[in-house]
Amino acid sequence: MTLLGIKASTKDIDFNIPNKVDYNEFRRLYKKISPGVTIDYYPSDMVFSEVLLENYIDKASDYKSGFRNIKVKILHPLDFVCSKISRSNEADIEDIKSCIKAYNLKKNAIAKRAGLYVRAGSDEVFRSSLKIILRNLF
């Protein structure tokens, strides 16, 4: 949310680390440091229980981190919204609302992108949450 320019600060940082070697190295280093912020990190193409779409990296924007050996990308706002649908707790709903407003996301665009997603979690929960979000936020 912070990198998207929607929030001034965030309570946690989510990383998707597609390369297995990089993921294992991140885990190893994370255990050695205390970053002072909660970091959730996901392997391969996962965020929470959602499997990101094959083209999510192409749609993501580059973030100029200043790191030489680390490339940081920011999820496209539609993928950000889709990654929060299954959990849909109060904070996630507020994040979704903020993202819709900040990026003028349309109901049909969210429904279309979300319809392409598969998940490790429950399809029923995802569909139900999506229906509630589309009904209540537009």
pLDDT tens track for 86-118: 888 898 999 999 999 999 999 999 999 999 988
Sketch the domain layout of the chain as residue ranges.
12-136
Where are any strands of DSSP class E within 18-133? 38-43, 46-47, 50-51, 61-63, 72-74, 118-119
pLDDT tens track for 49-63: 788 898 999 999 999
Please state, in angstroms and rounded to a whole number, the distance separating the CA atoms of residues 117 and 83: 9
Six-digit token string for 135: 């009904």
Please state, in angstroms and rounded to a whole number, the distance separating the CA atoms of residues 123 and 125: 6
Can you give the pTM of this predicted structure?
Answer: 0.84
Please state, in angstroms and rounded to a whole number, the distance separating the CA atoms of residues 99 and 126: 19
Q: 3 phi and psi, to 5 degrees?
A: -70, -25
